[in-house]
Amino acid sequence: MKYVSETYPKGIWSVYCTKGKDVEEPGFDFELVVVISAARHSPQNFCNGSWRSIWNIEFKDEIQSVEVRGEMQVGAHYFEEGNVQLDAKHECKDTTLIQSRDDSAISLVNIIRHHETEYLASLQTSYLKLPDTTFKDLRRKLPVTCTLFPWHNTAQFSLTRDIEKELGIGK
């Protein structure tokens, strides 16, 4: 609860027991699912965004470990003078040892925090590179004629000669 309120101001979370029993006695395997969801709608700024992560946490009593599998999904929509959308997904996996109840909870929150922070940082890095990589790759390298435009010698075109003649400039 503390992590979600700090990281996602308007986020919500829930924890479900999906396998086994949630009991205090040793000797039982069980699985929890943690769901974190947040959305920000700002139509006056022409953008909307959403975040969802689902964490499957499997407690294996026999080997005294916890396996954590996460799936994160980000959606962003910018629609000022155009329509640009981002839909991204990422999966990760981690393990830790079973400790006391409080220590296990702190350890699991730290794993979730680490992977979500790492994923958001990679998205931000990709976003910063977007104009120099992705958008350039979307443009056509050559015109339909498959020849470069001769910017150094525009005098060969009749339009240039016509404009020079009309304005009384040039040769």
Note whether residue 159 is domain-resident.
no
List, as own/partner pairs, every contact residues 27-34 make where C-beta atoms lie below 8 angstroms and the sequence separation is at least 24, other chains included. 27/61, 28/61, 29/58, 29/59, 29/60, 29/61, 29/62, 30/58, 30/59, 31/56, 31/57, 31/58, 31/59, 32/56, 32/57, 32/59, 33/57, 34/112
Tell me the average pLDDT of the chain. 83
Note whether residue 156 is domain-resident.
no
Where b means 16+ CB within 10 Å and e means fewer, 37-47 reads bbeeeeeeeee
Note whether residue 44 is domain-resident.
yes
Instruction: Identify the pLDDT of residue 34.
Output: 96
The answer, yes or no, to whether residue 26 has pLDDT greater than 70, is no
Which residues constitute the domain of residue 22? 2-136
Note whether residue 101 is domain-resident.
yes
The answer, yes or no, to whether residue 119 has pLDDT greater than 60, is yes
Instruction: Identify the pLDDT of residue 155.
Output: 59
The answer, yes or no, to whether residue 154 has pLDDT greater than 80, is no
Per the structure block, which two tokens stand in for 99? 């400790």
The per-residue pLDDT for range 128-147, each reduced to its tens digit, is 877 677 666 666 666 677 77
Model pTM greater than 0.85? Answer: no
- The structural domain count of the chain equals 1
Per the structure block, which two tokens stand in for 86? 């981002």
What count of residues does the chain have? 171
The answer, yes or no, to whether residue 115 has pLDDT greater than 60, is yes
The residues with which 14 forms a beta bridge, in sequence order, are 35
What is the CATH number for 131?
3.90.1150.210
